[in-house]
Chain A
Amino acid sequence: MPENRTITLRINGRDEEGRFPAHRTLLEALRQLGHMEVKCGCEKGDCGACAVLVDGMAVDSCLTLAWTADGREVTTVSGLGDLDSPHPLQQAFADGGAAQCGYCIPGIIVAAKAIIDENPEPSEDDIRLGLSGNLCRCTGYTKIFEAIADAAAVMRAEGGEP
């Protein structure tokens, strides 16, 4: 049987170690380490529920092998903010009622963070194209698009650390 290897992931600013075989995906590794905020959807790269940032870049963690993230920064939706101090995206989703069942939202907020990082003033077309790899089966997406545009505006107004 293939060997296990100990890897270190810097998850939401904290180093965490885990021991995994080579075929373990980052999604599986993160959930095994207790990061249940990262959701498992299609496991095919279609739905985006498992999206996380690796060194700031949005990836589908279900298509990423855990070993290849060894030593890298992994940001999940929980790394952006919490109830006491929500990220503008999280606040905008709550204020705008942009979540229904909520299953897709962790991935959508991570993708939205990547969209705004690349372009602080995304047009609706930019938001739509940026979210084309995130499926929500509850909503018509309208409130999601609006929440992202609202959050981008708040972040531009704050002008500080995104």
Chain B
Amino acid sequence: MYAPFELDIPTDLPGALAALANGAGETVLPIAGGTNLIVDIRARRERPDRMVGLGEVDELKGMEFGPERIAIGGRTTVSDLLRAPEIAREAPALIDAARLFGGLMVRNTGTVAGNIASGSPAADLVPPLLTLDAELTLASANATRTMALDDYYLGYKEDARTPDELITRIAWPRLPANAVNSFYKLARRKGDAITVTGVAVTLAAADGRCTRARIALCSVAPVVFRARQAEALLEGRALTPALIDEAAAEAAAAARPIDDIRASADYRRHTALALTRRLVGQAWDRLA
């Protein structure tokens, strides 16, 4: 690779945060799996002076399964998700996304925090996490803050993370008792393909009514987003095919898709509607 940079390999989190803070006049980037970043550097889309390798920062690894909340370290890889039976039980949408994420080698090294921080509108792990009400912990050498994942994206490839911050932790509440959580990736092939349209849904029900609806879409707008108007249509109601159609139309109306090499904007709008209808309908059938 012909774009030279320097590389620090700190062995703990304070060391990593200090290395990120020391970038006076330099472009300093953290690197975990590198599955996006190395490609971007090679293409000269990123030109770091210095990289901070996170491979030996153990504080960023591990999963906690508390009575009410689940938390995973930022450096959890996609393969780590697939090997965790509790994630399969507690966040099935995340497993749906992880199974078809990149290829084996990318799943082994690509991280959850990296997928979030890439800011890509096609980040497959983000719709599932949005439908789980995930919260991020961002740490710098000076401060630690938490924010809803839903507040993290500011625009196309723009996010709330400052250059000296790391996403150290991703946490979400356990799903309620009667809930379905799923994700569907539409792409040209299964695996190693960038998503054309991705939809994640969480639906919970009690006494024949929908008590919680979360719908999030990727690859159909400049950012991954929650279809809040569609969610609002469903919450508190007994779902009918007509109501599900209406919510799916709202979700598609909230999309701002583009034409690109993978699909047309029209196709994305159409599939955003069809997939939302399908996932909400299937979830409701399973809950009934």
A57 at the interface (CB under 8 A from B): yes
Residue-by-residue, is B97-110 near A (CB-CB < 8 Å gives 1, otherwise 0)? 00110111111110
- Is the CB–CB distance between B106 and A45 below 8 Å? yes
In this complex, which of A51, A111, A132, A134 has the most chain B Cβ atoms within 10 angstroms of its Cβ?
A132
A22 at the interface (CB under 8 A from B): yes
Instruction: Give the chain B neighbours of A58 by CB distance below 8 A.
Output: 104-105, 108
How far is it, in angstroms, between the C-alpha of A78 and the C-alpha of B6 when the chains are bound? 31
- Is the CB–CB distance between B1 and A45 below 8 Å? no
Among residues of B, the one whose C-beta sits closest to the C-beta of A2 is B6
How far is it, in angstroms, between the C-alpha of A57 and the C-alpha of B107 when the chains are bound? 11
- Is the CB–CB distance between B104 and A63 below 8 Å? no
Q: How many interface residues does chain B have, given as a range?
A: 20 to 34
- Is the CB–CB distance between B38 and A63 below 8 Å? yes
B15 at the interface (CB under 8 A from A): no
B14 CB → nearest A CB, Å: 20
A145 CB → nearest B CB, Å: 14
A48 at the interface (CB under 8 A from B): yes
A60 at the interface (CB under 8 A from B): yes
A1 at the interface (CB under 8 A from B): yes
B144 CB → nearest A CB, Å: 26
B191 CB → nearest A CB, Å: 3
Among residues of A, the one whose C-beta sits closest to the C-beta of B54 is A68
- Is the CB–CB distance between A22 and B5 below 8 Å? yes
- Is the CB–CB distance between A114 and B104 below 8 Å? yes
- Is the CB–CB distance between A133 and B53 below 8 Å? no
Give residues 13-39 of B contacting A (CB, 8 Å). Answer: 31, 33-35, 38-39
A65 CB → nearest B CB, Å: 6
Give residues 105-136 of B contacting A (CB, 8 Å). Answer: 105-109
Instruction: Give the chain B neighbours of A101 by CB distance below 8 A.
Output: none
A129 at the interface (CB under 8 A from B): yes
A residues at B contact (CB < 8 Å): 1-3, 21-25, 28, 43-46, 48, 51, 57-60, 62-65, 67-68, 111, 114-115, 128-135
Task: Identify 27 residue pairs between A and B in the complex whose beta-carbon atoms are under 8 Å apart, listed by A's number.
Answer: A1-B4, A2-B5, A22-B4, A22-B7, A22-B51, A23-B1, A23-B2, A23-B3, A23-B7, A43-B42, A44-B39, A45-B39, A45-B103, A46-B103, A57-B108, A58-B105, A58-B108, A63-B35, A65-B34, A65-B53, A67-B9, A129-B104, A132-B190, A132-B192, A133-B105, A133-B192, A135-B192
